[in-house]
Structure 1
Amino acid sequence: MTVLLGLAARRERLRSAVWILAVVMLGAGLVSYVDGYFPTQETLRTYARVISGNPIFLGLGGPVAEPSVGAMAAWRSGGLLFLLTAWMALTIVIRHTRGEEESGRQELMLSGVIGRTAPLTAALVTAAVAALVAGALTAGVLVAIGLEAAGSFAYGAAITAAGWVFAAIGAVTSQLARTTRTATTLGLLALGGSYALRYLGDASGATWLTWLSPLGWSHLVRAYAADRWWPLIVSLVATGVLLALAYALSARRDLDAGLLPVRPGPAAGPYLRGPFSLAWRLQRGLLARWAAGVAAAAALFAGLSGVAPRLAEQPGRVLDAFLQRYGGPSGDPVDAYLWIIVLLLAYTVALYPVLATLRLRHEESSGHAEALLSTAVSRLRWAAAHLAVAALGTLALLALGGFVTGLICSLVMGEPAVGRVLPAALEHVPAAWLVGAFAAFAVGVLPRVSVALSWAVWGAVTVVGDLVGPLIGLWGWSRVEPFHYTPNTVSGEPFTAAPATVILALTALLVATALIRLRDRDLG
């Protein structure tokens, strides 16, 4: 067990450190933002009243029970710190259980003097420690910058609890699924469903929905206000039940097998006639899941567009700041809200070409690419096929998100919106392609760190972008990311081709460099 823990810690020393650093920096940055933007108690009270009367704001982070810097910063996170920690813990467990089985390394380790459940236990301990460090460091930093200790430690405990619950969920999905990809998909579906339940519960006032969400239990702590520790008992009990289930399922299955039935595909098919059809076959499941998620998210947020006109009733300073960021030339709160939905879709969909492009690295490291390239298929055709699927899939997802958003908004508000929202969503395609091109560049030039580097680029673009950046005081940094240069045509800003042309040129340069390097370097 000690050897497995040491190995896991060594493998996670950089990856988990980045996650933990992101959590701590966001927690401290939000406090700095609130302290600078709401300098007086009166402005805090005003904004707390705005939040309490607006379902959109309530859905982001729940009600603000007390107009203080700490409570406002905890609300401002919108559960982002809980979400990040949960995601970190989930992926750690899956990577060190199902991922190790799929690669064959766990079978080699179990041939020694190691118990059957030792790898699962080591993965859970690693994830639990990472979540604990994230919560403890965040609490310590918040106390150091002047927030009250009771609220800070309650907030840190809520962050840790979210990580522990989803570490246990990752343990369960690793037993159910036969592949790392399926286990991760199931875990992320649980995470997304938990966030959606919590959002709907806080936005509608239906507290019972929040109680059904594992992320909601951390929100119910209400740090810096009520400082309720007892909702975390629910998190601990759920974690214990899930862990017991994971160990029971582990004892009922064979090594490298999952409990969910696997339907074998046909040995051959009429459509597998070249690299592109093979790439499509490998990528279509990912695209289908993304399409379902994008459509559901677009419908959810567009369904709340009917409350956007209430923003015009809010205090001048809050409304002015909101319209200055998102209102564009029209200055209409409805247009501003539609633009926020488009931005949310754009930054989220930008992750798809990253994941689709990283399939190249997976095929290479698993040895599948070597077998394929031993035939008449060239490296350039193989790589170009996957990149083409990634590019077309990105275009399809943004078109789908824009159409669903426009359609639902048209039904809710009683006026056509598809003609404005769909083109605005498609205008973000070049920027999303550029994010994917960075992933292609990493796979071609720096394959060993391509996964971490690709995720880091997408995370940096999202954090400093026009959607998240202003929330944490990084408004000025948005100029370094491509989505910032997409005009807000929803609100009447004229479309200009120059930024898109420059972005497409950079995309082509990165992809060409990646393909040339991939053609010349050794595989593996």
Structure 2
Amino acid sequence: MSGALAGTGALARLALRRDRIRLPVWIVVFAATAASAAAATAAVYPTAADLRAAAESINAVPSLRALYGPVREATLGATSVFKLTAFGAALAALLMITTAVRHTRAEEEAGRRELLGSAVVGRYAGLAAGLAVTAGASVALGLVTAVALAATGLPVAGSLAFGFCWAGAGLVFGGVAAVTAQLTKSARAASGLAVLALVVAYFLRAVGDSAGPAWLSWASPIGWSEEVRPFAGDVWWVLVLPAGTAAVLGGVAVALSRVRDLGAGLLPDHPGPAGAGRALRSPWGLAWRLNRGTLAVWVSAYVLLGVVCGSLAGNVGSMLTNSQAQAMITALGGEKGISDAFLAAELAMAGVITSVYAITVLARLRAEERALRVEPLLAAAVDRRRLLAGYLVFAAAAPAVLLAALGLAAGLTNGAHLGRVGPEVARLVGAASAQLPAVWVLTGIATVVFGLFGRALTAAWTALVAFLMLGEFGTLLKLDQWVLDLSPFTHSPKLPGVAVHATPLLWLTALGAALVAAGVVGFRRRDVAG
């Protein structure tokens, strides 16, 4: 077995070098989010009576328990992290799914694993290195988050328990991704199967927490994060479940890798429909074909998010027990009531998340370029501008579809509660669509870095994280207004509930268009690289 693992250390170091920016940035974002939640909760619920009333109000709303889980105990720590325990564990799991697939199946799909395998590298070295990096990143995420929470004044034991909840979720779904990487032939399919498993796990936990029976939460790896009960008793033995499951999944991945050929998957490939070729006669058709599955998943998620936000909007006032809490929510956006302010805050966050999708469309084109599938297209009768334009149309139009779906679902749900469906749908679809110009600015940034540099697409992700941090912590850190204005999301109207001024939206749209134009010019002139 030692020969089969030869070179594992070298491959792990290579993986860490590739992720030397990506993983640290995301770990810091996760930890900072948890710490900011703790600091904000301490200001909103300053007394034990406030915490007790908040916990009772939260636990009384089934849709809120389904989305985030219950507050296990009316302590500052438990109330601070109730929104992040299950939901944050799912996001950490998603990060580790992408990490595991990136360093296993994606390496095979790109042909690098076969090239390395011709040297002194064992058969299982690549898989072992990918698992080791994913596990190390999960543990580092847990420890850094625990330190950040403890730094806000929360108990050290509870902070460690919470951090290891996230680490456990990362370990489990990193193992799931390692298994799906053996089953499928493409990194995209491996990620899709692993994310599907994550969605099922989250759904089981949501049903168990909101409607029962309780054993459904125990059947979900995401539910295990809640059963650790950080800051509410700290049940440490539950952490054995994710650790043991991750070890079993790692063993299964190794066993499956023994019975498949390098570059192949265990699941059979299926030919596409006979008429699919007609849709591939233009760059627009190709972009649609490559991205339609991902868009369908995102639309489904946005519809679900809209239903949850719409159902919570009418009840959000019952969760606020003092004037400080009401002032905080109102300050997030809106001047016509706490319900509008809550919806404005959720739609603003949806705008940031939608930018993630817009960037991934350009990242898909970069992946096609690195896989050497772009150069043959350009060698034929396909102009560079037309090829990039096909993806840009999708990157601009798909976010509009996502935000419209979110506003429509929220409007239908909240409108049914208020007894005026039509006006509420129109109001919230418009409010959600107002986030589009800021999303287009991020699309433009991604286009510029792809068109000019290709390899530097990571800069677009860095810009998104920087804008997110400015929005979350800029006011808290008392930064100058000109620094806050660097984020395009600062200029997006906090709808519904405020007057709309067209000038900022027009400037954002113009800036996005200018950046896109610069990226197109750059792509025409640079070399197509692998």
Shared fold per TM-score greater than 0.5: yes
How far has the Cα of 1:104 moved from its partner? Answer: 0.6
Q: For residues 472 and 127 of structure 1, do their structure 2 counterparts lie closer, same or farther at Cα, with a shift above 3 Å needed?
A: farther
The CA distance in 2 between the partners of 1:142 and 1:316, in whole Å, is: 24
Q: Determine if contact 1:342/1:425 at 8 Å carries over to the other structure.
A: yes
The one of 473, 484, 503 equivalent to 2:508 is 503
Q: Determine if contact 1:272/1:278 at 8 Å carries over to the other structure.
A: yes
**What's the secondary structure of 1:13's corresponding residue?**
coil
Letter of the 1:287 partner, please give it.
L
The CA distance in 1 between the partners of 2:214 and 2:504, in whole Å, is: 45
CA offset digits 1:373-407 (Å, max 9, x no partner): 11232222221221112212222222223223323
The one of 220, 227, 251 equivalent to 2:258 is 251
Letter of the 2:307 partner, please give it.
A
Residue matched to 1:77: 84
> So what's the TM-score if we normalise by structure 2?
0.87
Q: Determine if contact 1:356/1:386 at 8 Å carries over to the other structure.
A: yes
Is 1:293 aligned to 2:301, yes or no? Answer: yes
Greater shift in the superposed pair: 470-479 or 249-258:
470-479
The one of 322, 326, 334 equivalent to 1:316 is 322
CA offset digits 1:134-185 (Å, max 9, x no partner): 2123334444554333222222222221111111011112112211112122
Is 1:178 aligned to 2:165, yes or no? Answer: no
Is 1:195 aligned to 2:197, yes or no? Answer: no
Q: Determine if contact 1:47/1:318 at 8 Å carries over to the other structure.
A: no
Residue matched to 1:347: 352
Greater shift in the superposed pair: 276-285 or 88-97:
276-285
Residue matched to 1:210: 217
Letter of the 1:211 partner, please give it.
W
Q: Determine if contact 2:85/2:225 at 8 Å carries over to the other structure.
A: no
How far has the Cα of 1:362 moved from its partner? Answer: 1.6
Is 1:446 aligned to 2:450, yes or no? Answer: no
Q: Determine if contact 1:94/1:184 at 8 Å carries over to the other structure.
A: yes
Letter of the 1:283 partner, please give it.
N
How far has the Cα of 1:38 moved from its partner? Answer: 4.0
The CA distance in 1 between the partners of 2:135 and 2:397, in whole Å, is: 39
Matches within 5 A, 1:141-156: 141-143=148-150, 146-156=153-163
Residue matched to 1:34: 41
Q: Determine if contact 1:139/1:152 at 8 Å carries over to the other structure.
A: yes
Greater shift in the superposed pair: 125-134 or 77-86:
77-86
How far has the Cα of 1:237 moved from its partner? Answer: 3.1
How far has the Cα of 1:56 moved from its partner? Answer: 5.2
Equivalences, count: 517
How far has the Cα of 1:37 moved from its partner? Answer: 4.2
Residue matched to 2:414: 409
Q: Determine if contact 1:445/1:518 at 8 Å carries over to the other structure.
A: yes
How far has the Cα of 1:252 moved from its partner? Answer: 2.8
Letter of the 2:387 partner, please give it.
W
Residue matched to 2:172: 165
Q: Which runs of 5 or more structure 1 residues have no equivalent in the other structure? A: none
**What's the secondary structure of 2:280's corresponding residue?**
coil
CA offset digits 1:325-382 (Å, max 9, x no partner): 356232153x344445534543332222111122221222222111111123222222
Q: Determine if contact 2:58/2:319 at 8 Å carries over to the other structure.
A: no
Q: For residues 254 and 68 of structure 1, do their structure 2 counterparts lie closer, same or farther at Cα, with a shift above 3 Å needed?
A: same
The CA distance in 2 between the partners of 1:50 and 1:249, in whole Å, is: 48
Is 1:95 aligned to 2:102, yes or no? Answer: yes
Could you tell me the percent identity over the aligned residues?
A: 36
Q: Provide the alpha-carbon RMSD of the alignment.
A: 3.0
Q: For residues 292 and 260 of structure 1, do their structure 2 counterparts lie closer, same or farther at Cα, with a shift above 3 Å needed?
A: farther
Is 1:383 aligned to 2:391, yes or no? Answer: no
The one of 319, 325, 331 equivalent to 1:325 is 331
The one of 470, 485, 495 equivalent to 2:491 is 485
Q: For residues 288 and 150 of structure 1, do their structure 2 counterparts lie closer, same or farther at Cα, with a shift above 3 Å needed?
A: closer
The CA distance in 1 between the partners of 2:384 and 2:163, in whole Å, is: 48
**What's the secondary structure of 1:270's corresponding residue?**
helix
How far has the Cα of 1:214 moved from its partner? Answer: 1.4
Is 1:458 aligned to 2:464, yes or no? Answer: yes
Q: Determine if contact 1:29/1:473 at 8 Å carries over to the other structure.
A: no
Letter of the 2:464 partner, please give it.
W
**What's the secondary structure of 1:230's corresponding residue?**
helix
Greater shift in the superposed pair: 197-206 or 87-96:
197-206
CA offset digits 1:103-151 (Å, max 9, x no partner): 1111122223433222111111111111112212333444455433322
CA offset digits 1:1-48 (Å, max 9, x no partner): 222222223223332222222233333333333344444444444433
Is 1:236 aligned to 2:265, yes or no? Answer: no
Matches within 5 A, 1:135-146: 135-143=142-150, 146=153
The CA distance in 2 between the partners of 1:268 and 1:37, in whole Å, is: 55
Letter of the 1:279 partner, please give it.
A
Is 1:282 aligned to 2:327, yes or no? Answer: no
Letter of the 2:69 partner, please give it.
G
Residue matched to 1:358: 363
Greater shift in the superposed pair: 88-97 or 228-237:
228-237
CA offset digits 1:183-221 (Å, max 9, x no partner): 122222333443344345434565334223212211221
**What's the secondary structure of 2:277's corresponding residue?**
coil
Q: Determine if contact 1:441/1:514 at 8 Å carries over to the other structure.
A: yes
Q: Determine if contact 2:309/2:343 at 8 Å carries over to the other structure.
A: no
